[in-house]
Amino acid sequence: MKRLLLLALLAQAIQAETPLYQRLSEEQARGTRGQGYWYLFSYSTEQAGSSQRTAVTFQASQLRELLASYQTMPAIDEIYDYIQESNDLIQDGERTTEEMISELEQDYQLQLPALLEEWMDQYGPAMVADLLLLTSPEFPSYGLANAKIIPYRIPFTTLNPLWTLGSVPFAVTSPKQTSLPLAGYLITGIQPYLLEMVRVLIPCILLGTLLGFWQSQSQEPGQEPSTATKVAHQVVNILKDTINAVPRFLMVLFAILLYREFGQPIAFWMISVPLGISSIPLVADRVSQTVNTLALRDCISLRLNQGFTRIQVWKELWVYPIKNIFLIETLGQTVNLLYAETIIQYMIAMDDEALAGTGNKTSLGYMLVRLSRELYRTTLDNQLTIAFETYNIYLPLLSLLILFFLIPYTLFRYKSRMEATP
């Protein structure tokens, strides 16, 4: 009895050391993350000189069922040999799969789980034998520690293009919701950009507009400016040149390099704030130049002489041309934010473990990088190719790309139309 108990403990210890078990317990420890996920196992078998790559997918619950069935199974290597030998007979047509299963159950006094029988039909006996050997606790395969977990499942069973276009893979944070209609995704995908626009970009551009306006108003032509104005001008000029000297992308890069080391996740503001700050001097310059040009043409003094108050003149200046400058810059900076965010998301995806990650997992850039990264991995990691081609990554990627193209295109169109306004 003691011996049996020891053996059972030993088996448990072996199980705990198996990479697959470790992976599973890690997933369980994380809470709901392991639930309902699809595991993708892919490996190559070499038989008679030719290698064949195969991919298997199953859910976490199925995996647990399989692992539980090992407790009642005798030596896995014997079963493996048995199935492999029978497989030759099945291929020669001397035996059927059902016969093989019933003989196996009789010979070894075991009840094969329904899942394995299902897989026998689905993938063939040879592959099930391989799978048994690979996942068994007695023969741990360290390659399985790297088993790919897909947090979403693209509905590949139907080829209805409308359905496929409507099922953009959703964020990893909600595993239960495997797909979301395009309209819904549009809102969740664009929401972070809109928020940043309202929170950071628009105030920055407004500040730039005010600065430019102040810059043009503080200096009356033909008058000696006060010392305070001179100092203010110098400060503004220095700020302008400094921001010009450390352009937006380096600012973003430094922020990421340094904040990454601080161990905090990269927040959206770390991308939008440098963009916003770098747009201030540009806007200020354009506004002050425009107002100065109008002042030189005597437009402003003419209006004042016609009896308009200063506030009325400023209002007129805002309606045209300052509002246009403001809108053009806002549209341009939004597109910049989209591109900068995407490329920075890519930087983070490049090395998931080294970087702290981002705080945002629903934005368009995140999803685009995530999907294209999978495409990239299929190339790097040849073993996953077939699996991902089965899952058809191209259609969701295409739908995302269309979105990614359409949004900047619309913004660019509005921008160019505004720029063309005389």
Partner 1 sequence: MNQQASQPPLQKLPQQILRTLIIFMLPLLLVYGMAQRHNQQQPGAAQASEQPGLASWVQLIMAGTLPSPPGRDLARDLKVSTRNSLLIVGLIYGLTLLMSTGYGILLYQQRHHPKAVMSQLTALATLTALPPFLYYYAALKLEVLPFTQYSGGTIPLEPRLMGPILLFALFNGYFAANAAATREIFQDIYSQPYKGFYQGKGATPIQTVQLMARNWSRPLMVSALYLFPYFLAESVLFEFIFGIPGLGKLLWYCADFDTETASINLHVFTLLTVTTVFTASVQLSNILKTTLHTRVTP
Question: Could you list the residues that contact partner 1 (CB under 8 A)?
Answer: 219, 221, 225, 230, 233-234, 237-238, 241-242, 244-250, 252-254, 257-258, 261-262, 292, 335, 339, 342-343, 346-347, 350, 368, 372, 375-376, 378-380, 401, 404-405, 408-409, 412-413, 416, 420
Side-chain-facing half-sphere of 376: CA atoms under 13 Å: 9
Nearer to partner 1, 92 or 353 (CB): 353
Nearer to partner 1, 244 or 312 (CB): 244
Nearer to partner 1, 87 or 278 (CB): 278
Q: How far, in Å, CA of 325 to CA of 213, rounded?
A: 12
Q: How far, in Å, CA of 180 to CA of 366, rounded?
A: 16
Nearer to partner 1, 162 or 245 (CB): 245
Nearer to partner 1, 52 or 226 (CB): 226
Nearest distance in Å: CB 341, partner 1: 10
Answer for the pair 54, 45: CB distance below 8 angstroms, yes or no. yes
Nearest distance in Å: CB 96, partner 1: 41
Nearest distance in Å: CB 255, partner 1: 9
Residue type, position 77, single letter: D
CB atoms within 10 A of CB 140: 19
Nearer to partner 1, 142 or 262 (CB): 262
The dihedral built from the CA positions of residue 38, 354, 381 and 128, taken in this order, carries a sign that is: negative
Nearest distance in Å: CB 190, partner 1: 16
Nearest distance in Å: CB 372, partner 1: 5
CB atoms within 10 A of CB 255: 18
Radius of gyration (Cα) for the chain, nearest Å?
32
Reading phi first (left if > 0) and then psi (alpha if -120 to 50, else beta), residue 219 is in beta
Nearest distance in Å: CB 261, partner 1: 5
Side-chain-facing half-sphere of 176: CA atoms under 13 Å: 1
Nearest distance in Å: CB 65, partner 1: 36
- Six-digit token pair at 307? 């009896």
Nearer to partner 1, 144 or 371 (CB): 371
CA-based nearest residue to 266, from 342, 333, 372, 344:
344
